[in-house]
Structure 1
Amino acid sequence: MLIINSFEEYQSHLGKELGISQWHKIDQDQINSFADATLDHQWIHVDCVRAENEGPFKATISHGYLTLSLIPYLWKQIADVRNLKMEINYGIERFRFGQAVIVGSEVQLKAKLLSIANLRGTTKVVIQATLIIRGESKPAYTGDVIFLYHFL
């Protein structure tokens, strides 16, 4: 795991891959819980029988936004940013879903530091986030995540 203690340490990784998270298995319970939380009960996600018989993947698939919601969890496995007063999820840009994540798949996040700026004491970083699916050549998604950090 990468440990970052300051703006200067963060900046030293500009343009570099920061790391890769552990594998995380997406099971039907997680998909169902996400469907309940978001009120998105589309059959392709929650109806296992119909998905097997009528769906293009022959199984249920994860919600795209469920996979996006894993970013904070998986990011914490890649980098431990310390000496903070506050950390803010500021935005996401240019995300594209490249492939469905079929129930039972394992995914991991790969992160690269695209840019870093000191905005009057607030550190703004743009991280290229790619969600890899075990055994697949095409990622589930790629896009940019923006974090704001207020170092002590």
Structure 2
Amino acid sequence: MESKNQKAYKSKFNSIDEFGTNVGTELGLTEWNKMDQEKINFFADLTEDRQWIHIDQERSEKESPYKTTIAHGFLMLSMCSKLMFESYELHNVRMVINYGLDKVRFTNATASGSEYRGRVTLLEFHPNPNGAKYKLQVIIELKGQEKPACIAEFLALAYKK
């Protein structure tokens, strides 16, 4: 997926108010990470989703259109937490918690062994007396692929110290 910034970077904010002035701004782009079969198998065991397209390499080579095992969509979605932490820092807050998700789409399969990275943008910011509610867009890009693996909108609550 082609975008402006191709080199990894991370934004840092000293307050919730400073963070809120960046609506519409890309906050960060992570380094490439590898999605290996070990992670896929661990996730399959943890969630008890052991569908063959995720864990059976031989069958996947023969029957899958991807010709290899692929990561679970929800595994890729769960990587968004890591990618958000790696793309920006928000200082002088008591805590930040997940509030929910909007518009989650799995637009491309992530083959075992693929490299992925996160591109994070602040979409909305709503201050309140305790801090703020905000929405981030996380795009999980796949190395060498035009379509991303996942596009999701995350809602979070940040609490002032």
Name the TM tier (shorter chain): over 0.9
Partner SS state of residue 137, structure 1: coil
- Paired residues in the alignment total 152
Q: How far apart are the structure 1 equivalents of 2:16 and 2:96? A: 13
Percent identity of paired positions between Structure 1 and Structure 2: 38
Partner SS state of residue 133, structure 2: strand
Which letter maps to 2:123?
L
Q: How far apart are the structure 2 equivalents of 1:76 and 1:70? A: 10
Aligned to 2:156: 147
8 Å Cα contact 1:19-1:78 kept in structure 2: yes
Give structure 1 regions of 4+ aligned residues with deviation exceeding 3 angstroms. Answer: none
Which letter maps to 2:131?
T
Give CA-to-partner distance per residue, 1:22-46, whole Å, 9 cap, x none: 1110000000000011000000000
8 Å Cα contact 1:5-1:81 kept in structure 2: yes
Matched, 1:18 2:18: no
TM-superposed CA distance for 1:85, in Å, is 1.2
Provide the aligned C-alpha RMSD in A: 0.9
Partner SS state of residue 141, structure 2: strand
TM-score, normalising length: structure 1: 0.96
8 Å Cα contact 2:97-2:158 kept in structure 1: yes
8 Å Cα contact 2:16-2:90 kept in structure 1: no
TM-superposed CA distance for 1:13, in Å, is 1.0
Match of 1:34 among 39, 43, 64: 43
Give CA-to-partner distance per residue, 1:121-149, whole Å, 9 cap, x none: 23111001111000001111112011111
Which letter maps to 1:117?
H
8 Å Cα contact 1:27-1:104 kept in structure 2: yes
TM-superposed CA distance for 1:19, in Å, is 1.2
Aligned to 1:116: 125
Match of 2:140 among 123, 127, 131: 131
Structure 1: where are the runs of 5+ without partners?
Answer: none
Partner SS state of residue 43, structure 2: helix
Matched, 1:51 2:66: no
Give CA-to-partner distance per residue, 1:69-111, whole Å, 9 cap, x none: 1111111111111112121011111111111001000001111
Q: How far apart are the structure 2 equivalents of 1:77 and 1:119? A: 26
Structure 2: where are the runs of 5+ without partners?
Answer: 1-9
